[in-house]
Structure 1
Amino acid sequence: MEDKDIYKREIAKVRKVQLHEHSPIHAAGPVIEPGNWERYDPFLLLMEDKFQKGAFDIHPHRGIETVTYVIDGAIEHYDSHSGKDGVLGPGDVQWMTAGSGVVHNEVPSEGVTAHSLQLWINLPRDKKMTAPRYQNLKGNEVPVREEKGVAIRIFSGSSGDVISPTLNHVAVTMIEARMDAGASISQELPGSYKGFIYIIEGSGVFGKNEVRASKGEVLELGTGGKNGTGEIDFTAEEPLRFLLYAGEPVKEPVVARGPFVMNTEEEIQEAYQEYMQGTFLK
């Protein structure tokens, strides 16, 4: 008998992610598309990119956090807050709190095509102008939950009894699961969380409604309950690797222009004015 306070989450929607060539050195596609603020809250967008050096130039951000996961290749990064360069490899995550403002860049190593996912997380009004923060999460150093045929790396939040030390302004669970064929596991999530799954390799069966999905597909989680804890089930039909992102909705107005996400149009105009006048960095 199931615990009356725990219920099974369903999969509401499945979609194939399509990458489109933007230039000879950059192809990209939305895993979750911007503009659906209430639907994906607290998440603003998730882009999948395959790119080489020169695809992006140095650029600013304010009012958000960016979470970059490297699928393949190597990305060299620089940000104005830490003033340091670093390299992210496959399975590594860069968790950057832009807050009041950072200027940064992400550049694949020379001769390398990087394959990455970048998530934007909205910050609530009282954290929009928080001090920038950078967390470098190496895949081989984050906590791991191990079950039979399953290894779950916890980049944020928790899985089973394993808890990540990653600092959050918005409550977010981010896990990477690697499962052997035939293996099964469940992930608990607060009922209020919204979220989605992106399959990097393999295929499996997901959710209470047993939805089958495979590499390159994104699965949107069904609505949870207002109270209590939900549970999402996974079974691998073949060796499976996926990411799950879920978080607590911010429930505030979103005004987004380019790299800035604030609550009002006036705040967006102020960010652009400060950037152009050279007073952007606090």
Structure 2
Amino acid sequence: MKSRNIKRVDTPKMLPEGSALHRNRQLVAPGQWDEIDPFLLLMEDWYSQGAFQNHPHRGIETVTYMVDGLNSHYDNHGNKGTIASGEALWLTAGRGLIHNEIPIDDRPVHTLQLWVNLPRASKLVDASYQELRGAHAPRRSLPGGEAIVFSGTSGNVVAPTRNHAEVTMVEVRLAPHATFEQELPADYNCFVVILEGAGFLGADASPVRTGQVAWLQHEQDESEVRFETKEESLRAILFAGKPLREPVAARGPFVMNSDAEIEQAYMDFRQQRDSFGLVPTGA
């Protein structure tokens, strides 16, 4: 199986408009839709209570991974829960919802939030959520480490996560002097976020370290990406997805296929119609 090379390694900087309640980095920038399809953006956030207010979404899925801390979440359909460090919340906004994610106490949290585009046929599905518990997520034991499969597959390990867009999400943890190959389905776009440590990625063994994002070369055929460590351990998350190749119209918290659909989303939200008609009850 062909091993992919690394196309580029980014080192995103902290955004300047941070505050005492909220600091963030833009790990995947929006706008280059063809290049990052089916992904829309990825933010790394450090925040405390009061950083975010109740807010709507339509036409997307948000995947919140808890790097550190404990969050409560709730929406205007009566759903609520908590996610802890090493866990993820997979939220399908679909036709719409109003929600929030808030630290449970005065301690700040550290999160990654990925926006995944929904295919046209699923833009207006009913909203739903999945709590991907770290203790229950399928694990693949590796020589010198493990792979935690939040979505998609790794080897013979298959996550039960329900997907509208085909997405693989695998957390890789390697001790020093270890290697691992993650298979990638044909035509998937793929990037890796380095959470801790340092190592080498791809057939070209590109060096990566904490805080960087590595983009893989696109391949039309089934392929794999190689992870390798030397003197340091490595903790990273791989995101890969099959491109939708559909028109993207994005404005604020709504992502649809046309400007007219965006206008309709804003009209429904302002007039509290359809799935925006209920008020969140809080955590």
Report the TM-score range of the alignment, normalised by the length of the smaller protein. over 0.9
Q: Distance in 1 between matches of 2:274 and 2:12?
A: 35
Structure 2 counterpart of 1:134, from 129, 133, 138? 129
Q: Distance in 1 between matches of 2:259 and 2:215?
A: 30
Partner in structure 2 of residue 114 of structure 1: 109
CA contact (8 A) 1:271 1:280 kept: no
What is the correspondence of 1:32-181 to structure 2 with a 5 Å cutoff?
Answer: 32-81=28-77, 83-181=78-176
CA contact (8 A) 1:176 1:243 kept: yes
- The answer on 1:28 being equivalent to 2:24 is yes
Unmatched runs of 5 consecutive residues or more in structure 2: 277-283
Partner in structure 2 of residue 234 of structure 1: 227
- Could you say what secondary structure the match of 2:262 adopts? helix
Q: CA deviation at 1:17?
A: 2.2
Partner in structure 2 of residue 12 of structure 1: 7
CA contact (8 A) 1:19 1:48 kept: no
- Could you say what secondary structure the match of 2:18 adopts? strand
More divergent stretch after superposition (13-22 vs 212-221): 13-22
Structure 2 counterpart of 1:249, from 217, 235, 243? 243
Partner in structure 2 of residue 221 of structure 1: 216
Q: Distance in 2 between matches of 1:143 and 1:25?
A: 34
Structure 1 residues 241-265: Cα deviation after superposition (integer angstroms, max 9, x where no partner)? 0000000000001010000000000
Identity between Structure 1 and Structure 2 (%)? 45
Q: CA deviation at 1:276?
A: 0.5
- Could you say what secondary structure the match of 1:22 adopts? coil
Q: Distance in 1 between matches of 2:19 and 2:75?
A: 25
Q: Distance in 2 between matches of 1:59 and 1:32?
A: 21
TM-score by length of 1: 0.95
Q: Distance in 2 between matches of 1:40 and 1:102?
A: 25
Structure 1 residues 60-91: Cα deviation after superposition (integer angstroms, max 9, x where no partner)? 1000000000001111110223x132111100
- Could you say what secondary structure the match of 2:275 adopts? coil
Q: Distance in 1 between matches of 2:247 and 2:269?
A: 23
CA contact (8 A) 1:41 1:248 kept: yes
Q: Distance in 1 between matches of 2:36 and 2:59?
A: 17
Partner in structure 1 of residue 267 of structure 2: 273
Structure 2 counterpart of 1:207, from 192, 202, 206? 202
Structure 1 residues 124-156: Cα deviation after superposition (integer angstroms, max 9, x where no partner)? 111100111210101111000001111110000
Q: Distance in 2 between matches of 1:80 and 1:194?
A: 33
- Could you say what secondary structure the match of 2:264 adopts? helix
Q: Number of residue pairs matched? A: 274
Q: CA deviation at 1:205?
A: 0.6
- The answer on 1:258 being equivalent to 2:270 is no
Partner in structure 1 of residue 279 of structure 2: none
Q: Distance in 1 between matches of 2:236 and 2:165?
A: 22
Unmatched runs of 5 consecutive residues or more in structure 1: 1-5
- Could you say what secondary structure the match of 1:168 adopts? coil
One-letter identity of the residue aligned with 1:43: F
Would you identify which runs of 4 or more consecutive aligned residues in structure 1 move more than 3 Å?
none
Partner in structure 1 of residue 281 of structure 2: none
One-letter identity of the residue aligned with 2:261: E
Q: Distance in 2 between matches of 1:165 and 1:7?
A: 27
